[in-house]
Amino acid sequence: QTLEILKLVVFEKKGRIKIIQLTKKGREIAEAIENIQRLIR
């Protein structure tokens, strides 16, 4: 829920299945975290 409030993910319900997708902002943050992880190694 916090991630949804921060506009990082969107939830979509299809029947009994709940699909979680990253928003554009969420993808950008995920890429930034991956870049930081690469720098640390």
The architecture in CATH of the region 2-40 reads: Orthogonal Bundle (1.10)
Where are the domains positioned within the chain?
2-40
29 Cβ contact list (under 8 Å, min separation 6) = 8
- 2-29-19 Cα angle (round to 5): 55
pLDDT, mean of residues 15-34: 97
Contact 12, 18 (CB under 8 A): yes
Q: What is the structure's pLDDT at 29?
A: 97
Q: What is the structure's pLDDT at 28?
A: 98
Residue 10, strand partner residues: 21
Q: What is the structure's pLDDT at 14?
A: 92
